[in-house]
Amino acid sequence: MTERFALGACVVAAMLLLIWVLSRCRSGFDFTDEGFYLNWISSPWDYRDSVTQFGFVYHPLYRLVGGDIAFLRQGNVLVIFVSAFVLCASLLHSIFAERNDGKSGPRIKIVSLALGIAASSLTFFDLWLPTPNYNSLTFMSLMFAAVGVLITSREASTLSLCGWVLIGTAGAFSFLAKPTSAAVLGGAVVVYLIIAGKVWIRGLLISVIAAAVLLGVSALVIDGSLGKFVDRVLNGARIGSLLTPDQPIARLFRVDSFSFGSVQRAIFALLLAVTFAAAFLATRAGAAARIGVAVVTIVLTGLSIAVSTGALLPNIPYYPFQPMQFWAINFAVALSFLFASRRSSPLPSRNAVALAAFFITLPYVYAFGTGNNYWEQGGRAGFFWFLAGIVITVELVATNAEWRILTPIAAAALLVTTSVVLAAVEHPYRQTQPLRLQTSKFEIGPDNATLFLADDAATYIRDLRRLAADHGLKTGDPLLDLSGRSPGSVYAMSGRAPGASWILAGYAGSNDFLRAALANESCDVLGAMWILTEPSLPASFSASLLQPYGIDILRDYQEAGSVRSVRGASRTEFEQFLLKPSRDHDVARQACERARLIGR
């Protein structure tokens, strides 16, 4: 009875954590990355060249929810959670069936544990960027691939064929999200299949065909032909590489360093000690040990429930690498077996070793290609590290004792996830206030989506939208952000970012990136373009970069007005100016065409 109560507490804690994350999707807005995501998702066909195609993948969801940003975010959260649940259920079913002559454990236990463990996938929102993007699509693709390798075999059964198709589907979606991760994912899958002894040439062929068909259909939907799609990706990669022209390809293959602060080390040690105690008790027989395991589980889940319901609000700073606390759980379980007197087998099976290694590799696959620290970025997919620990745990524990040990470590993982989410919503990425304090209800974007914002953000958007409306900026009009850091402002005013959904300033090759992006636009668009500037920002683009398009910002534009606000946790003050084209559109278009002819 105590074990069932503890397992039920895990499920309740997981569901409340999910509800908490879903509720916070109504609050906050990041004017940098989220602005980029929304510009791209809302109008993906506006951009000719792109190395990632997540905008096309998520555009149907955007249209389905009517452009409602909160619903869009909630859809993203649910897709990730459901994918994680399917993966966890598949994993538990497969490893228990393997250990019990093809018979899995009771379904209710598998479902309950899968729900509790799946909530650990919510560490993905470590930075609180819940709007769908290329990272969420990559994470989802890796979970698809993991489910695929779990159900594949060297037999032509229906389930196995579904697994091979799912691997190919995961590869295609991974390519649409981030081609660098897709390339490494393919290698990781092949290595797993070899180590596990599951290589089946026909199956691999099925996976390749499934990926090719999905990518071919995507190419036709996006560009109408495979050739144009290939050009899109290659040109997108070329333009993107302009931002960091001196970065060699070899730089992608690296192992970064990481460091824990004193508080993080203390948390790691405490979590390791508590999980070790629970795991050690779970390996012991007797009623007292079982009650001890249940008590630890209930305490851990109780802390998670208290935080997610708002009954407990600890003052927690944001720490990088926090999802790496999953390793404390894995190390604790490993230590508990060193002290345990009984083991079911001296060594894990071949498939378990291959599967654990595959899971450990996936966060690196997820991070591969980013300019950020691989440990920090990969930690957002640290869910896979925890799954690797589960695989080895079940291999080492005595038969029929799996449920007893998995429940407390699932509770420990829930506490890690809760702390990560708490830090994220208390310190949302590049925002001035915790999400719980953002209470100003305001409409944003071309579909007038309602969000709860900080007072300064709401005032900023209201002033921008008023300027735009008073001076005639219409929905879909081109609006160039010369600050290089406010793509969300373009979206908020219902404008369209010309050339690229975010033209980033501050990089070594930013000027070349802007030129290449605007080269994709017609003079008809450039002649009608409005401009948002932030002259006091040292990294902003110079207006002289527009001269090759026949634009003299002092002569050809008039100031519509300015807005003042603050940005980031440091609450840095800034002032931006909205500039309206003063020339007749035909005159501006012809000037652009002449300038382009001269420049050739």
Instruction: State which amino acid sits at residue 54.
Output: F
Q: At what angle do helices 2-24 and 69-99 cross, to 10 degrees?
A: 150
Measured CA to CA, the distance from residue 116 to residue 92 in angstroms comes to: 12
Count of positions (residues) in the chain: 600
Say what the pLDDT of residue 88 is.
Answer: 97
Task: Pick out the chain residues at pLDDT < 50.
Answer: 343-344
Q: 513-536 pLDDT, tens per residue?
A: 999 999 989 999 999 999 999 999
What 3-state class would DSSP assign to 533?
Answer: strand
Measured CA to CA, the distance from residue 259 to residue 25 in angstroms comes to: 30
- How far is the first Cα of the chain from the last one, in angstroms, to the nearest whole number? 80
Q: At what angle do helices 262-282 and 402-426 cross, to 10 degrees?
A: 160
Q: At what angle do helices 54-64 and 69-99 cross, to 10 degrees?
A: 110
If you search the block for the tokens 């209800």, which residue do you land on?
441
**β-bridge mates for residue 559, sequence order:** 579
What lies within 8 Å, CB to CB, of 531 at 6+ separation is 479, 480, 482, 543, 553, 557, 578, 579
- Token duo for residue 572: 């840095």
Measured CA to CA, the distance from residue 494 to residue 305 in angstroms comes to: 39
Say what the pLDDT of residue 169 is.
Answer: 98
What lies within 8 Å, CB to CB, of 513 at 6+ separation is 239, 240, 242, 243, 500, 503, 504, 507
What 3-state class would DSSP assign to 220?
Answer: helix
Query: DSSP string of 225-291?
Result: SHHHHHHHHHHHHHHHHTTSTT--GGGGS--------HHHHHHHHHHHHHHHHHHHHHTS-SHHHHH
Say what the pLDDT of residue 229 is.
Answer: 97
Q: At what angle do helices 402-426 and 2-24 cross, to 10 degrees?
A: 20
